[in-house]
Every structure is written in C-alpha cells, then in structure tokens.
Amino acid sequence: MDQDKIKAFAGKVFEDMAGGMAAGLAYVGTRTGLFRAMSGNGPMSMDTIVLASGLKQRYVEEWLNGMVCSKYLEYDPDEKTFELPDEYSYLLASEGSDHFVGGLFYALPMMLGVAPRVAAAFETGGGVPFEDYGEDGILAIDLMTRGLYEQRFSDYWLKSIPEVHATLEKDGRVLDFGCGAGRAVLAMAKAFPRSVFTGLDLDKSSIEQAEDSNRQSGPLDNLRFVSGSVSDLDPQDQFDLITVCDCIHDLTDPIGVLKDLYSRLKSDGTLFAIEPKVADHLEDNINAVGSIFYGMSVFHCMTQSLAAGGPGLGTCLGPAGVENLVRQAGFSRFEVLDIKSQMNLFYAVRH
Ligand SMILES: C[S@@+](CC[C@H](N)C(=O)[O-])C[C@H]1O[C@@H](n2cnc3c(N)ncnc32)[C@H](O)[C@@H]1O
C-alpha cells in the first residue's frame, strides 16, 4: 500500500469531520443570532459577545473557540478578542439577501437528523416522507432560496425570457407549481401587479406558511395559494407561465405531473424550471457542489420521493435528465437559459 496515500486520506477524513463540525457550529451561530450579534462590531471580548447575544456564557465561550479553530472567526491572542470579518459577515449575517449562506447550515440538522432512518432504508427500501422533515425542513428550504427569489427572480432570471417578462408586465396568468413556502410566487406577484398568480403545493404546512407570508405582505390581491395537486386547480385554468422551482427531481410521478403541466400551459406559454446546477456525468461533478448535492439527495430529495413510491430521481438529475422527462411528457422545445448562478440551472420549456 502507498503510505503517502493513506496519510493524505487520513488528513482528508479529519478535514471532512472538521467541516461537518464547522457547519454544525455555524448552524448554531445562525440560529441563535451569534453571527448577527458580532456583525460589523470589529474585535470583541467574550463578555461583550455574551452580553450582545443574550446567551449563556459557557455555550458562547465554547462556540467562539470552535469557530476560531474552524476559521469562521479571527482571534487575537494578546487582546483575547474575537472578530467576525466583514467579508464573512456578508455571507453569514445577511439574512434575506441573495448572498446569505445560512440556509445551507439549516439544511444540515434537518437532513442529518434522519440519517439513521436513511441508513435503515438502504436495507428495507422506502424512505423518509417529505412531511417528516417537519417545519424545520420547510424553513431550511425557504432560507436557502428566499433571498435569491426575492432579489433575482423577477428582475434578473425572468428578464432572460423577454417575451415572458413582457407578458407579466401586461396581464399574465402564472402558476408556481410546488411553491413551498411561497417566496418565488410572492416575489413575482409583487413585481407584476397586473398579472395573476397561483401558488400550488401538495404540502399543507408549506401552503400555510406561504399564506402567512402573504398576509404579512398586504396581502397581495393578485395572489392565491392552493393546497393540492394540479387536478385541484380550476379545470379551466390555463397559464402563460408555469414555474417549477427545485421540484422536478423531487417528484413522485414526474412524467404524469409534467403532462398535467403541459395541459395547463397555453400553447404559446413557457414552463420555467430551476434545478440544481450539476453536470450530466458523475466525473464532471467531483467538486464541493457535487458533494453537497449528492448528500442532499441521499438525505432528502431522492429519499422523500422513494418514501412516496416515486422513482427517487434525486438532486443530481442534470440537464439531460430534465430534457428527457419534459420530452416524454410531450414538450418539444427545451432550452438551457444563460443565467449565471453558483447552485442552479435554469430551463425554458415550451409546447
Ligand atoms: C424542494 S421543495 C421546493 C419549494 C419551492 N419551490 C422552493 O424553491 O423553495 C419541493 C416542493 O414540491 C412540492 N411537491 C412535490 N410534489 C408535488 C406535487 N405532485 N404537487 C404539488 N407540489 C408538489 C413539495 O411539497 C415541496 O414543497
């Protein structure tokens, strides 16, 4: 055996374990408001941080030590001060912005919390149903995408399909299929007051949260939410735009749902789909994003579909997989849109 290879791999195992712990500590920092309490304050003593956070001294102390070792905080051993650099704060303490990364940390306990059940499913089959991830699951998905949807959906992403943008400025009809906590459809309904929007999701708790957010914003009178599937919509309802965000790979009956969506899309309408940014071949996904997405697939996306008797397509469906499904459902035009994003790919699909 190659001793250097063993040594190098042992180093990687420690780094990965350290990464897991860093992400867990960062989850605590996000959830308790510790990053927020340190944001913009420069070097701070431990006592000042405890006071600013309102949290228990001993927990904060150990968290600070761990975050220093994980290189999320800078430490001055002479002054015994801790600092969250502005550049880190930009990512860690920027809730609601399109550069906030805290949603990823929220996803970690939500997914790893079911790891024993997932491991058991490797032997027994089945999986973990979507609703078993609970309110924290909905919150984590919401936190991962909220800032992006609010800041980029209408002004940037939809502008890449000019004819759709123009229709929405006049009087479009839009369905957000699998709307989850509703941020994308809320953002669109705010941006295009002359168009009419429906958010649809099978999951009742997600729809309740979406309705709650809508109440807090007004509510908007051009937006309604429906709990259920496509067959629960008004039979006459036809749409100029159907958005399907981070959903296709999760579906239990992907071709059946896409056929239903085909029948609800006007003949000159567009289905706009957002899916994780992965390549079609495993060898092209050997990087941090690939590692995150395959983990998310095993601990959530694939597993919740298998739990419901679905095919378990998984997070890394990729462009060829999406194209294959939409063509089987009857769509003839498939385009990968030229939108820059670290984690997502965007598709325009038409009759
Ligand atoms: C990963 S979440 C994405 C939520 C939201 N679109 C977002 O981007 O934040 C997938 C959503 O699809 C919904 N979903 C899955 N299958 C569905 C179906 N057949 N009909 C309606 N909603 C469905 C789930 O309940 C879940 O809320």
Strand 74-76's sheet: what is its strand order? 44-45, 81-83, 74-76
Closest-CA residue, ligand 1 atom 27, reads: 180
CB 316 within 8 A of CB 279: no
At 174-225, the pLDDT tens digits run: 999 999 999 999 999 999 999 999 999 999 999 999 999 999 988 999 999 9
Asked if CATH classification 1.10.10.10 holds for the domain at 3-92, the reply, yes or no, is: yes
Q: For position 160, what pLDDT does the model report?
A: 96
- CB of 83 within 6 A of ligand 1: the answer is no
Q: In this structure, how many other beta carbons lie within 10 angstroms of the beta carbon of residue 150?
A: 19
Ligand 1 atom nearest to CA at 146: 9
SS3 content of the chain, % helix, strand, coil (to 5): 55, 15, 30
Q: For position 218, what pLDDT does the model report?
A: 85
Q: How confident is the model at residue 239 (pLDDT cuts 50, 70, 90)?
A: very high
CB 149 within 8 A of CB 179: no
- CB of 297 within 6 A of ligand 1: the answer is no
At 132-177, the pLDDT tens digits run: 999 999 999 999 999 999 999 999 999 999 999 999 999 999 999 9
What residues contact residue 216 under an 8 Å CB cut-off, 6+ apart? none
| Span(s) in the chain for CATH 1.10.10.10 | 3-92
| Span(s) in the chain for CATH 3.40.50.150 | 109-350
At 7-53, the pLDDT tens digits run: 999 999 999 999 999 999 999 999 999 999 999 999 999 999 999 99
pTM of the entire predicted model: 0.95
Q: For position 146, what pLDDT does the model report?
A: 95
CB 317 within 8 A of CB 330: no
Calculate the average pLDDT of the chain. Answer: 97
Is the model's pLDDT at 340 over the cut of 90? yes
Q: For position 53, what pLDDT does the model report?
A: 97
- CB of 229 within 6 A of ligand 1: the answer is yes
Q: Where are the beta strands (DSSP E) in 178-263?
A: 196-201, 223-227, 239-245
Closest-CA residue, ligand 1 atom 20, reads: 229
Instruction: Please state whether the peptide bond connecting residue 219 to the residue before it is cis, i.e. omega within 30 degrees of 0.
Output: yes
Ligand 1 atom nearest to CA at 142: 9
Q: For position 90, what pLDDT does the model report?
A: 98
- CB of 179 within 6 A of ligand 1: the answer is yes
CA-closest candidate to residue 122, choices 315, 312, 321: 312
CATH superfamily of 109-350: Vaccinia Virus protein VP39 (3.40.50.150)
Closest-CA residue, ligand 1 atom 23, reads: 178
Q: How confident is the model at residue 317 (pLDDT cuts 50, 70, 90)?
A: very high
Q: In this structure, how many other beta carbons lie within 10 angstroms of the beta carbon of residue 292?
A: 15
- CB of 201 within 6 A of ligand 1: the answer is yes
Q: For position 85, what pLDDT does the model report?
A: 98
Is the model's pLDDT at 83 over the cut of 90? yes
Q: Please, how many CA atoms are within 13 Å of residue 304, restricted to the half-sphere of its CB?
A: 22
Closest-CA residue, ligand 1 atom 16, reads: 251
Residue 327's Cα: distance from chain center in Å?
A: 26
Q: Please, how many CA atoms are within 13 Å of residue 335, restricted to the half-sphere of its CB?
A: 13
